[in-house]
Amino acid sequence: MIESREPLISVIVPVYNGQCYLAGCIESIEHQTYKNLEIIIVNDGSTDSTGALCDHMQAVYDNVRVLKLEDRGVSAARNAGMEAAEGEFITFVDADDRILPDMIRRLYDCLVKTDSDVAGCRFFLWRSEEEWQRTTGATSAAAVEKATRRLEVQKADELGKDVLRADKPETQIKIYNADSYLREELLRGNSRCWSKLYRRAVTEKVRFRENITIGEDLLFLVQMLPHVNAIAELPYAGYGYYQNPAGTIQRKFTPRYMDQITCWQLAREEILRMDERLDAQVTALWMTGIMLTAGKIAMLPREEWDECQEYIRVCWESLKKAMKIHGAYGRLSMGYRVKTMMFRLFPQLYLLLYHMHKHAD
């Protein structure tokens, strides 16, 4: 381990079948300008050559440790990493992503300067090695900012612009208390656990829910909020999010995708304990998750719909319940209002029309 007067930071990297991209991720961490790092790779039951690659990197780098789990999921992998971490600060990097050389340095300096418990930054999208080199090789931040905006706008289009909006570029660090962070960041789309640096004293009080495979970041942050005094957000985009074609959002519907609904139900319960006035806003996000799930089912081949009738029923009943919450429906975009009403009244017809529309594109 390199000698340093600066505190140790633990970087937790969960991986499952990451033989094609793990090395690039670890190299981006090793190249950080902040040097006092321990890298904890959690190999969660990989069936490809990831295990051998982990062992190789542990042999090459003296600050790399490898933990092994038996395919328990990303939440269990992150929890195992936190249990093993020795650093005073903790950050998460997904194995198919990469970080710019000064990301951890900037987050650490921001956290210390603002006396915050958490410091976060923006992220940018990359899809290929060529795009990574082109974006990160820019002499200015313009290319990274452009990529950041592109991903934010894309996500806004997916969820409805007045549910998750793409903010204009900012130039100053923003400091939030727990309440303002919940309202101005978390409920506006910044619900990712990565691209953030945490004081270990905060992460020790919360763990990822291991029975949730979608939205585990959201629940982690919601449950963390009562334990934080201040959270800082940098306008700098230092985290490179790889749009993996095999990633969760790109995959076809499976029963695990129902976690999209469950996570917002659980988050809503937690948030209402903090502030009941947020019910309409949170329920609108829950409704959006329901419709995204229904859309995933609709994209399946029609011969598979019979096997999904129970999931369709859960979507329909959840939406029916959510629409009873005063003010929630009105917070949706016009497009989502039409979708939710159509699905509420004619669920099978909505799925058919959605299926025909998407497969016609």
User: What token pair was written down for 299?
Assistant: 């994209």
Helix (H/G/I), strand (E/B), else coil: 123 = strand
The pLDDT confidence band at residue 136, using thresholds 50, 70 and 90, is confident
Helix (H/G/I), strand (E/B), else coil: 38 = strand
Q: Tens digits of per-residue pLDDT, 302-315?
A: 999 999 999 999 99
The pLDDT confidence band at residue 361, using thresholds 50, 70 and 90, is low
User: What token pair was written down for 323?
Assistant: 């629409």
User: What token pair was written down for 140?
Assistant: 């200015």
Q: Tens digits of per-residue pLDDT, 223-281?
A: 999 999 999 999 999 999 998 765 545 578 999 999 999 999 999 999 999 999 999 99
Q: What is the DSSP letter of 139?
A: S
pLDDT at residue 187 above 60?
yes
CA distance 37 to 11: 7
